[in-house]
Amino acid sequence: MAQLKHFEIAGNRGPGGPKTMAAKKVSRGKSSARKPKADPATPAAKQTVEKKSSLDPGAAEERRSGARWTFLTNHAHVLIALHARPDLVLREVAVEVGITERAVQRIVQDLEGEGFIRREKVGRKNHYEVLTDQALRHPIEAHRNIGDLLKLITG
């Protein structure tokens, strides 16, 4: 059981009723809250799919198929999206890849910092150029470059 550290007073005013005071336990560390039990009539995989939502139909299909991981990283997915459509705004990249916009911002910073993409401001938007002659980073694939990966994926 989590050790009790202190109490917070939480006020609650109902419609037309007096203000009531309630003590709320606040603890540090692991939450002692229990997860709701799964409905025995519904398979666990189906429940997981229903909890997740995405604007990208491809991501939804991937979850329905039961895939929990992919062969390419989010960095590769962002790179592929920007190569295919260099004028995408990062919000659209986030939807396409299935991650948050902030995660896409960090990935773009990583890719730009390491010399895999070049960002150019065009009016109020950014235009991204993927530098296809850069070598892949891991020793296993270092004999190939970004262009080889993009050709493999995009055809």
Instruction: List, for residues 79-125, the tens digit of each pLDDT value.
Output: 999 999 999 999 999 999 999 999 999 999 999 999 999 999 999 99
pTM over 0.85: no
Predicted pLDDT of residue 39: 55
Share of the chain above pLDDT 90, in %: 55
The encoded tokens of residue 15 equal 């419609």
Written in H, E and C, the secondary structure of 100-146 is: CHHHHHHHHHHHHHCCCEEEEEECCEEEEEECCCCECCCCCCCCCEH
- Per-residue pLDDT, 10: 46
User: Cβ(154)–Cβ(146) under 8 Å?
Assistant: no
In this prediction, residue 48 has a pLDDT band, given cuts at 50, 70 and 90, of: very low
Query: What are the domain boundaries of the chain?
Result: 71-154
pLDDT value at residue 68: 85
pLDDT at residue 64 greater than cutoff 90: no
Architecture of domain 71-154: Orthogonal Bundle (1.10)
In terms of pLDDT, which residue wins out, 139 or 1?
139
Q: Report the pLDDT value the prediction gives residue 155, as an integer from 0 to 100.
A: 86
How far apart CA 142 and CA 110 sit, in angstroms, is: 18
3-state secondary structure (DSSP) of residue 6: strand
CA–CA gap between residue 66 and residue 69 (Å, rounded): 9
Torsion of CA 100, 106, 110, 111, to 10 degrees: 40
Q: Is the pLDDT of residue 53 over 50?
A: no
Average pLDDT estimate for 20-24: 48
145, 148, 153, 155 alpha-carbon torsion, rounded to 10°: 160
Arithmetic mean of pLDDT over the chain: 76
Residue 62 has pLDDT above 80, yes or no: no
Other beta carbons within 10 Å of 107: 24
